Amino acid sequence: MKKSLLALSALLLSCSVSAAKYNEGEHYQLLGAASFDAPNQVVKVYSVNCPFCYKYDKAVIPGMVKNLPKGVTFDDYHITTKPPFGMEKALVLAYAQTQSEQALKTVKMALYKKYHDDKARFASADEVIDFGLKAAGLDRASFDAAKNSPEVQQLLSKWDRGVDVAKIQGIPALVVNGKYLINTKSIRSMQMLDELVAELAAK
């Protein structure tokens, strides 16, 4: 009986080891000091000024979110530090998110398109804000009244947890459970990304 239990334990251990298809250092890394509290969540760190972030938002993120394991949610953190007008773009995005997820998506995609597709540049911070608000049909007076509210400022503070993450391998960055940074250059397919996310989320 004891030998059978030992054999079963060895078999289960073997199965668990073989199931771990992805390796620390090759496919992901531990964030260490840059980690943050986000259990059961995949976080994308990005900026609308980043061309690769735009490509990810169009071609990768929708499928990944659709295939997230049960109980795992998605969030994205727009950092304030990437110029031009990184703070203003983050601010109008944060305000949009307090209005609705659809408003956030509309403002985000409008800013992406303006910068990367139209190759247009803003002349001032006010122009950035007015453009973003107009894209989602939001009111400037309401924005001005709410931009310093705890709700908006807490979002900006949360998003800037991604600043230290962005320094490691750039953006977009995908973080699982607030502590596992996916090495995006190692990803070869959507299936591989889905499997890696599921494996890290279960840790």
Query: Could you check whether the bond before residue 172 is cis, i.e. omega within 30 degrees of 0?
Result: yes
Domain count within the chain: 1
Positive or negative, the CA dihedral 192, 41, 183, 198 is negative
180 occurs within a structural domain: yes
The predicted pLDDT at position 21 comes to: 87
Give 10-residue mean pLDDT values along the chain (203 residues): 36 40 95 96 98 97 97 97 97 98 98 98 98 98 98 98 96 98 96 97 94
10 occurs within a structural domain: no
Asked if 133 contacts 92 with a C-beta cutoff of 8 angstroms, the reply is yes
β 41-46/173-176 pair status: antiparallel
41 occurs within a structural domain: yes
74 occurs within a structural domain: yes
Q: How far apart are CA 80 and CA 66, in angstroms?
A: 27
The predicted pLDDT at position 3 comes to: 38
121 occurs within a structural domain: yes
18 occurs within a structural domain: no
Query: Could you tell me the residue range of the domain that residue 160 belongs to?
Result: 24-201
Please tell me the pTM assigned to this model.
0.88
The predicted pLDDT at position 20 comes to: 58
4 occurs within a structural domain: no
CATH of the domain at 83: 3.40.30.10
100 occurs within a structural domain: yes
The predicted pLDDT at position 71 comes to: 97
* Residues 4-62 pLDDT 10s: 333 333 333 433 333 558 999 999 999 999 999 999 999 999 999 999 999 999 999 99
